[in-house]
Structure formats: C-alpha cells, structure tokens
C-alpha cells in the first residue's frame, strides 16, 4: 500500500526533533561546551565559613547556595576562653549581663581567607609588637568583611543580623544597640569607662578598675590620612551600625574620663574590634 506523503513528512520531522532533543549531533556527543556555561554559584570564604558572595562558574543548571553559613572549622572553647580555629589564636571571654564578649581585642589577619581584609587591617605603627599587645586595627569595612566601596556607600542592604564580619564563626560585630546593652549592664555610660578599662597601660594613671574583666586597652587608632594616633591614651571600638554613607558608630574610651562615649567616625579610620557571641 502506498504511504501518503504527509505521513512520511510527519515521520521525518518527528525523528529530527528527537535527535535535536538528545543532542544527536555526533560531533557534540550530547555534551555542553564548557565555554557556554552561563549559570553560577556564589561562594566565598568568610571567617571560617562559606557564604554566598563571590562568583564561581557552573557548567550545568544554576546551583543555589544557601545564604546560611556552613562552618569549615570548629572553634575550641575552654573556661572563659575561645580558640579561633582559623589561626589558632586564643582569646579570653567574659559574661557581662546577658552578653558574652571577647575580653581582648581581635587580632585576626588572614587576608588569604578573607580578601576584604587586604589593606583594611593593620598593626598600630605597622609594628607586629603592637598587634601582640593591642590586637589589630580595622577599617569599618575590614571589620565588617565588606568590599571597600562601602567605605563611602550605605551598606544597610547587605548587613546581616548578626554581622559576623571579621569575627570567628559564632561571634559578630556588636551593633550600636548591643554596645548600649553593655553600658547599661555595668551601670550606664557615665561610669562604664572606669569599669571596663584595664588596670594598667593607660597614660597618666588613667587606668580603670576592670571590675567586670572586660580589660579595654588603649590601642589608639589610625585616621583617614594614614596617621597613627593616641596609643596609651584612648580606645575606639567599631559597631556594625552606620550613621551616614561614609560614617559608622563607635565607642570611645579616654584615659582621662570615666565615660564611655558614643561617636561616629569616617569608615576609613582604623579602630579596634571586640566581638560579641551570637545568641
């Protein structure tokens, strides 16, 4: 029996469609060329964690990486201590009211694991001895582990709650409100300086009583012109809270006063970091 032309044509079209769907071109063998990859997974290393931030190419469909952190190392806790698993430095810790704080300034410097730290953390006077004594100084973006562009831009859209920043996993940069909670726990900002300052190291016998074991030390700072100032005289600590696009809140202690002051400073300044434990 003679086949009708339209049936033959329909059969040929069907075969062609099947071959196209299966990658029937023998020169391609059904494999997508690497150069045609268009989807991406965003992965970055941040404080011993993996977060969505930088782009890594994928050769297949889009790979979604959760924004929740995945720990890649585990901190070690002792009696009132924590060992940062990223570089094995151990910090004293202290419970004050409802919060657990590091009782030492952070001294983390591994820019290979945190590229945003490159140029954004330093030792006072570029002296390793100063880092050993006081911990490191960080620009605001260095403390927050953010791109330097946010030194002059509002970062509110990308600030997490809590913001781990340069702190170890399970710890974070305190907000302005968390600094206020600390002040209130030690009797208010008018006398917080006296109770939180260390019992030695402050100029002209401006030491504190260190009644709570916080041991704030006068690490000084680096200003936005690159000058190091006031080691032995003052301590400045960053918060995670912005004031303006180019400024963020900090806490300030002076050798000559009992106060703990709330200031806001240019994000290019380099201050100390005290981490507070996540709840």
**Span 139-151, pLDDT tens digits:** 999 999 999 999 9
Domain ranges of the chain: 39-72, 74-277
Band (pLDDT 50/70/90 cuts) for residue 188 is very high
pLDDT, tens digit, 9 for 90 and up, residues 53-86: 333 232 323 333 333 444 479 999 999 999 999 9
- On the question of pLDDT at 169 being above 50, the answer is yes
CB count within 10 Å of CB 107 equals: 19
pLDDT score for 113: 83
Pairwise CA distance, residues 253 & 131, whole Å: 19
User: What is the residue-averaged pLDDT of the chain?
Assistant: 81
DSSP secondary structure code for residue 4 in this structure: P
CB count within 10 Å of CB 60 equals: 8
Pairwise CA distance, residues 46 & 48, whole Å: 6
> What's the sign of the alpha-carbon dihedral 48, 172, 241, 158?
positive
Pairwise CA distance, residues 182 & 196, whole Å: 10
- On the question of pLDDT at 266 being above 60, the answer is yes
Pairwise CA distance, residues 91 & 84, whole Å: 8
Q: What percent of the chain has pLDDT over 70?
A: 75
Which of 14-18, 24-28, 37-41 shows the lowest per-residue confidence on average (mean pLDDT)? 37-41
Copy the structure tokens of residue 61.
């469909």
276 within 8 A of 174, measured Cβ to Cβ: yes
Band (pLDDT 50/70/90 cuts) for residue 168 is very high
pLDDT score for 111: 86
Of 156 and 36, the structure prediction assigns the larger pLDDT to 156
pLDDT, tens digit, 9 for 90 and up, residues 207-265: 999 999 999 999 999 999 999 999 999 999 999 999 999 999 999 999 999 999 999 99
Q: Are strands 276-277 and 228-229 parallel, antiparallel or unpaired?
A: unpaired
- 3-state SS, 162-186, equals CCCCCCCCCEECCCHHHHHHHHHHC
137 within 8 A of 270, measured Cβ to Cβ: yes
Band (pLDDT 50/70/90 cuts) for residue 131 is very high
Beta bridge partners of 49: 71
Of 173 and 28, the structure prediction assigns the larger pLDDT to 173
Pairwise CA distance, residues 53 & 78, whole Å: 32
99 within 8 A of 277, measured Cβ to Cβ: yes
Integer angstrom CA distances of residue 86 from 48, 49, 167, 228 = 6, 10, 10, 28
Integer angstrom CA distances of residue 222 from 140, 205, 239, 274 = 12, 23, 16, 17
Integer angstrom CA distances of residue 199 from 28, 54, 194, 268 = 74, 44, 9, 30
Integer angstrom CA distances of residue 149 from 71, 208, 219 = 27, 38, 26
pLDDT score for 28: 38
215 within 8 A of 103, measured Cβ to Cβ: yes
- On the question of pLDDT at 43 being above 70, the answer is no
pLDDT score for 79: 97
């Amino acid at each position: 029996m003679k086949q009708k032309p339209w049936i033959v044509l329909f059969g040929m079209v069907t075969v062609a469609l099947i071959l196209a769907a299966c990658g029937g071109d023998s020169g391609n063998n059904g494999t997508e060329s690497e150069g045609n990859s268009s989807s991406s997974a965003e992965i970055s290393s941040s404080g011993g964690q993996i977060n969505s931030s930088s782009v890594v190419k994928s050769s297949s469909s889009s790979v979604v990486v959760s924004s929740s952190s995945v720990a890649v190392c585990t901190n070690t806790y002792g009696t009132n201590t924590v060992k940062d698993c990223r570089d094995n430095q151990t910090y004293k810790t202290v419970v004050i009211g409802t919060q657990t704080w590091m009782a030492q300034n952070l001294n983390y410097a591994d820019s290979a694991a945190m590229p945003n730290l490159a140029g954004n953390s330093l030792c006072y006077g570029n002296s390793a001895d100063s880092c050993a004594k006081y911990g490191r100084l960080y620009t605001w973006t260095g403390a927050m582990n953010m791109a330097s562009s946010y030194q002059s831009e509002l970062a509110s859209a990308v600030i997490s709650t809590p913001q781990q920043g340069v702190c170890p996993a399970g710890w974070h940069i305190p907000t302005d409100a968390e600094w206020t909670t600390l002040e209130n726990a030690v009797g208010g900002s008018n006398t917080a300086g006296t109770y939180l300052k260390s019992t030695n190291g402050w100029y002209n016998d401006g030491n504190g009583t260190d009644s709570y074991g916080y041991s704030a030390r006068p690490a000084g700072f680096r200003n936005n012109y690159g000058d190091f100032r006031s080691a032995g005289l003052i301590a400045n600590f960053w918060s995670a809270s912005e004031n303006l696009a180019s400024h963020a809140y900090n806490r300030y202690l002076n050798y000559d006063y009992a106060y703990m002051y709330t200031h806001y400073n240019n994000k290019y300044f380099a201050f100390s970091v005290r981490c507070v434990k996540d709840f």
